[in-house]
Amino acid sequence: MNGAADMGGMHGFGPVEPEPNEPVFHADWEKKAFALNIAIGCAGIWNLDAFRFERESISPPEYLNRSYYGLWVVTLERMMLKYGVATPEEIAAGRPLAPPKKTPRPVTADQVATMIRHGSPYDRPAPSPALFKVGDRVRTKNNHPTTHTRLPRYARGRVGEVVRIVGCHVFPDSHSQNIGEDPHWLYTVRFDGRELWGEDADPSVRVAIEAWEPYLEPL
């Protein structure tokens, strides 16, 4: 979707301001917001792409005025409602008003390290050979789905070069909609900065993105 999350190339945000000796978290609630999201994310109720879709669905003014973990909290609330983990009344009350439908099996402390070490690989067996090879010139499609996609607006309808065949990966556009993993070939595609930003752009800049095969057409 073309939400506030898709901000590559926008102007007006001001300079980047690194914080010297920045701590990992800036407040205790941030620690909770982080850990809650990771722990519940591993409970198998929703997948990471569905979570990302919900986060970018937050209205642009709210998205741009929330802090980073503030967005995580708002998204978690919305996901709990969407997936029937809690009711609006429970969120308002700040406590459960009824037992859960199914008995959950939470991640336990002794499972955490293994869970992190394992991660969640996104590569899958390929159902068919890759359409493109390294060195091919491709054009990204100019699509504007209202659902989740990982093709940023600034890279749509642009010509680039395949520089890496990554493998066959879970397709977030499908996965986020809970219609299966729908794996597709994934490529690293590199663009000249002038192709993305116009002929006045710095000629020494190149930008690479990861693009699934359905995003691309041959030239």
Partner 1 sequence: MTHDHHDDHHHSHHDHGSDLTEMQLRTRALETILLEKGYIDPAALDELVDIYEKKIGPRNGAQVVAKAWVDPKFRKLLFEDGTAAIGSLGFGGRSGNHLVALENTPTVHNMVVCTLCSCYPWAVLGLPPLWYKSAPYRARTVADPRGVLRDFGVELPKDTEIQVWDSTAELRYLVVPMRPAGTEGWSEEKLAELVTRDSMIGTGLPKQPKDLQ
Partner 2 sequence: MNGAHDMGGMHGFGPVEPEPNEPVFHGEWEKRAFALTLAMGMPGGWNIDMSRFARENRPPGDYLSMTYYQIWLAGLIDLMKERGLVSDDEIAAGHSLRPAKPVKRVLSPADVAQTLHRGGPTARETNSKAAFAAGDKVRAKVINPLTHTRLPRYVRGRVGVIESVRGCHVFPDSNSQGLGEDPRWLYTVKFDGRELWGADTDPTLSVSIDAWEPYLVRA
Q: List binders of partner 1 among 171-200 (CB under 8 A).
A: 172, 186, 188, 190, 193, 196-197
Backbone angles phi, psi at 157, to 5 degrees: 70, 25
Backbone angles phi, psi at 156, to 5 degrees: -90, 140
Give the residues lining the site for partner 2 (CB under 8 A): 1-4, 7, 9-14, 56-61, 63-65, 141-144, 146, 153, 157-158, 195-201
The radius of gyration of the chain from alpha carbons, rounded to an integer in Å, stands at: 20
List the one residue from 77, 182, 195, 213 that touches partner 1 (CB under 8 A): 77
Would you say 9 or 84 has its CB closer to partner 2? 9
Q: Tell me the one-letter amino acid at 208.
A: A
125 binds partner 1 (CB under 8 A): no
Would you say 86 or 189 has its CB closer to partner 2? 189
130 binds partner 1 (CB under 8 A): no
Report the distance separating Cα 9 and Cα 159, nearest Å: 17
Smallest distance from partner 1 to CB 184, Å: 11
Cα 67–Cα 70–Cα 75 angle in degrees, nearest 5 = 130
Please give the size of the binding site for partner 1, defined by CB under 8 A.
104
Q: Tell me the one-letter amino acid at 52.
A: R
Binding partner of residue 165 among partner 1, partner 2, none, CB cut-off 5 to 8 Å per kind: none
90 binds partner 1 (CB under 8 A): yes
List the one residue from 46, 53, 55, 160 that touches partner 1 (CB under 8 A): 55
Report the distance separating Cα 174 and Cα 179, nearest Å: 6
73 binds partner 1 (CB under 8 A): yes
Cβ–Cβ < 8 Å for 169, 122: yes
From residue 141, give the alpha-carbon distance in Å to each of 73, 92, 138, 152, 196.
Answer: 33, 43, 9, 11, 14
